[in-house]
Amino acid sequence: MTLNKVWVYAEANGDKVTTATLELLTKAREIASTVEAVYAGGHADAVAAQVGEYGATTLHAIDAQGGMPGQVAAAAIAQLAHSEAPDAILFVQSYDGRDAIARLSVKLDRPVLTNGFSLSVDGGQLTFGTAIFGGATLVDCTLSSDAPHLIAVRPKSFAAESAGGGAAAVTNHGSIDAGRAGEAKVLEVFEEEQSGPKLEEAEIVVSGGRGIGAQESYKPLVEELAKQLKGAFGASRAIVDAGWVPYALQVGQTGKTVKPKVYIALGISGATQHLVGMKNSDNIIAVNKDGEAPIFGVADLGIVGDVHKVVPALKDAIAAKG
């Protein structure tokens, strides 16, 4: 027996729905007979077409009122949940997704389950799977609280598959008073310049860590190798915190989750924080001076050596192949 109705909190960049949202819609189809999306932001019609294709029949559109979408949406979702009675509301473990689930949990007085990577329903009972200790231990949880259950899932936990559906019907709920939560206004939006494939979508990802030695080494070692392989470049938290590269490049628990065909870790020790974001890559190559570094525990090919010697030779060898 599946659930009756599941909502997915949808997110979009501009008019493009995020892949992680489509992954949740795909899973929602499997566990519920009715799937609907709730969304705060612009381009509602474009969003409705995309969420509809992935199985949502209705898009509940909310005016974000110039605030942070997740925080404004929570007030509206709380009101709607009382009348519409969804069994569960799924969120992406993203910045806005966490804001929305957090405020909603207080408004509805429900616990949250976060960092999920599996969901199943058996006899109407929802089971949620997560991983702790950097993925070393798997934990299944069930909730004894009343519906709606509030659940956040990490990106890349499920494959996004189109259901071939038409556009979802848009129900406009307009501006709902979010109280002081709505007082925080977004004044400006900055996007880091980006060339080549996106980090989350690239077939090949090359990431650098503290072991590259200096900020100046990032471009020749990490960025250039990634470009040569037509891949994307990323970073560990250590060098993001150190200010060597922007936050948008961070792979890990607090950054992006990637699952490329090949992940190349250069000078990354493999702290739990980093492993959570990349250990499900198909193939992992690691180059690090310290042979005892935990990254070698997940690497398919490990080279214990100096990135300053190995990477230039690697670039030359690849260039020679044309």
Partner 1 sequence: MNVVVCVKQIPDPSVPGQLEADHTLDRSAKPILDESDSYGVEMALQLVDAAGGGEVTLISLAPNGEVSGLRTALAMGAAKAVLVSDEACSGTDALGTAKVLAKCVERVGNADLVLAATESSDGYTGTVPAQMAELLGWPALTFAKKVEIADGKVKIQRQTEAGYDVVEASLPALVSVTAGVVEPRYPSFKGIMAAKSKPVDQVTAADLGLEGQVGWAGARQAISNVEQAPARQAGEKFEDDGTGAEKIVAFLENLKVI
Out of 46, 102, 160, 170, the residue judged to bind partner 1 by CB under 8 A: 102
Q: Does 106 bind partner 1 (CB under 8 A)?
A: yes
Select 35 or 62, whichever has its Cβ closest to partner 1: 62
- Cβ contacts of 21 within 8 Å, gap of 6 or more: 8, 9, 10, 11, 12, 37, 51, 92
Bridging pattern class, strands 204-208 and 232-235: parallel
Task: Point out which span in 36-44, 52-60, 161-169, 281-289 binds partner 1 (CB under 8 A).
Answer: 281-289
- Residue 213 structure tokens: 């030695």
Burial 98-137, CB ≥16 within 10 A → b, else e: bbbbbbbbeebebebbbbbbebebeeeebebbbbeebbee
Bridging pattern class, strands 16-17 and 32-40: unpaired
Out of 101, 221, 251, 278, the residue judged to bind partner 1 by CB under 8 A: 101
Out of 107, 173, 259, 308, the residue judged to bind partner 1 by CB under 8 A: 107
Q: Does 132 bind partner 1 (CB under 8 A)?
A: yes
Q: Does 167 bind partner 1 (CB under 8 A)?
A: no
Q: Does 141 bind partner 1 (CB under 8 A)?
A: yes
Out of 137, 159, 174, 195, the residue judged to bind partner 1 by CB under 8 A: 137
Select 37 or 264, whichever has its Cβ closest to partner 1: 264
Minimal distance in Å, beta carbon 208 to partner 1? 15
Select 57 or 272, whichever has its Cβ closest to partner 1: 272
Q: How far apart (Å, rounded) are the C-alpha atoms in residues 72 and 308?
A: 48
Q: Decide: 203 and 232 in contact? Cβ < 8 Å.
A: no
Minimal distance in Å, beta carbon 49 to partner 1? 21
Interface positions, 58-87, toward partner 1 (CB under 8 A): 68, 71, 74
Minimal distance in Å, beta carbon 76 to partner 1? 14
Q: Decide: 43 and 51 in contact? Cβ < 8 Å.
A: no
Out of 43, 46, 98, 170, the residue judged to bind partner 1 by CB under 8 A: 98
184: amino acid identity, one letter:
A
Q: How far apart (Å, rounded) are the C-alpha atoms in residues 21 and 11?
A: 6
Interface positions, 168-227, toward partner 1 (CB under 8 A): 179-192, 194, 203-204
Out of 47, 76, 176, 240, the residue judged to bind partner 1 by CB under 8 A: 240
Q: How far apart (Å, rounded) are the C-alpha atoms in residues 1 and 33?
A: 10
Out of 127, 172, 175, 215, the residue judged to bind partner 1 by CB under 8 A: 127
Q: What is the DSSP string of 254-304?
A: SSB----SEEEEES----HHHHHHHTTSSEEEEEES-TT-GGGGT-SEEEE
Out of 111, 120, 124, 219, the residue judged to bind partner 1 by CB under 8 A: 111
- Residue 302 structure tokens: 């490990």
- Cβ contacts of 185 within 8 Å, gap of 6 or more: 66, 67
Q: Does 120 bind partner 1 (CB under 8 A)?
A: no
Number of residues that bind partner 1 (CB under 8 A): 99
Select 32 or 181, whichever has its Cβ closest to partner 1: 181
Q: How far apart (Å, rounded) are the C-alpha atoms in residues 240 and 259?
A: 20
Out of 85, 124, 136, 166, the residue judged to bind partner 1 by CB under 8 A: 136
Minimal distance in Å, beta carbon 222 to partner 1? 14
